[in-house]
Amino acid sequence: MAEKVLVGMSGGVDSTVTALLLQEQCYEVTGVYMKLHDNEAYHRENFAKAKRVGEYLGIEVQFLDISGEFRQEVYDYFVREYQAGRTPNPCVVCNRQIKFGRMVAFADSLGIDKIATGHYLRCDGRYVYMAADRNKDQSYFLAQVRREVLPRLIFPLGERHKEEVKAIAARIPVLADIATQKESSEICFVENDYTEVLARHMEIDREGEVLNDAGEVVGTHRGYMHYTVGKRRGFTVHGAHDPHYVLSLDPAQNRIVVGTRDRLEERRFEIGRINLFEDLESFECQVKVRYRTRAIPARVRIEGERGEVELAEPVYGLARGQFAVFYDGERLLGGGEIR
């Protein structure tokens, strides 16, 4: 009897080819379209695409409305973190709570053991590894996924490059329009800029003071929510000759603190919300402090629910709320939230 697998299907290229490849590998495939946010027109269009794919492949595609859970666990977290002056990563949280949390529970309700998505990464059941296509690698975003879920995950695109995946989709007539569609945005509920989301919940355009690191008022800004650590533009600094960058935010006073680039340098920081794929207390690794940054050699020490990361070379613009993600070469070890 063929092994069953539940495939997260968005109506796009990657999830479509994932379902096709698994079917060719003789899995019994069931698709699920997950309604996450409240853009009804978006869901009508993309669920229709997913159903069309299902009809072509001869598989059932179910509709799972988890917008309430998504709002509480991902969207509200996103807004709350920016309100507090931190820089959240909703995709990391979504993968833990929703895509490899709620989706796993849905698979259980259907009696299906394996779960697959169109993520670009590899998994051997114990660890996650970087994708063969380094430009598309998404292993960073799985650093918070629960360890016990890994044996159930399949990622058919991990060994393939994006152009190869698009070519597979383009050869199938019913999928031709999907193969040429625009890539989806990194954060599904942000259409243009994150501040557009925040503006629905609070006043974001409220002029405030710019301080230097000595606490002196040196200029003005548009409102603290327009800024993240490391940002260089969008505020005034009177009498400055060198470029200035945001060093920190003070949400309570609607202030930002700025300084020259050297003031952004960090070599050591604390982490919380720690998730590891093996039991580790003190270890050397390579760490990425944001998705698109270079991995840097580091030593990590874990004590209970908190840890410390000591970098072999400095980073600039370290942001509270982002995730430090640990690698041993291509192998993902886990990660923690930067505190």
Catalytic (active-site) positions: 94, 188
Q: Which residue has the tokens 């990590």?
A: 300
State the burial class of residue 230 (Cβ atoms within 10 Å of its Cβ: 0-12, 13-18, 19+).
Answer: middle
Residue pair 100/149 in contact (Cβ under 8 Å)? The answer is: yes
The helix/strand/coil state of 64 is strand
CA neighbor of 143 nearest in space, from 308, 289, 276: 276
What is the C-alpha separation between 258 and 110, in angstroms, rounded? 53
DSSP H stretches of helix in the chain: 13-24, 40-57, 67-70, 76-83, 90-94, 103-109, 162-170, 176-179, 194-198
Q: Quick count: other Cβ atoms within 10 Å of Cβ 40?
A: 9
79-88: burial string, b at 16+ Cβ within 10 Å, e else: bebbeebbbb
> What distances in angstroms separate CA 284 from CA 50, 51, 299, 302, 337, one per listed residue?
43, 46, 4, 12, 18
CA neighbor of 177 nearest in space, from 62, 48, 58: 48
What is the C-alpha separation between 1 and 176, in angstroms, rounded? 32
CA neighbor of 336 nearest in space, from 303, 312, 306, 311: 306
Spell out the residues 6+ positions from residue 63 whose beta carbon is closer than 8 angstroms to its own.
32, 33, 35, 47
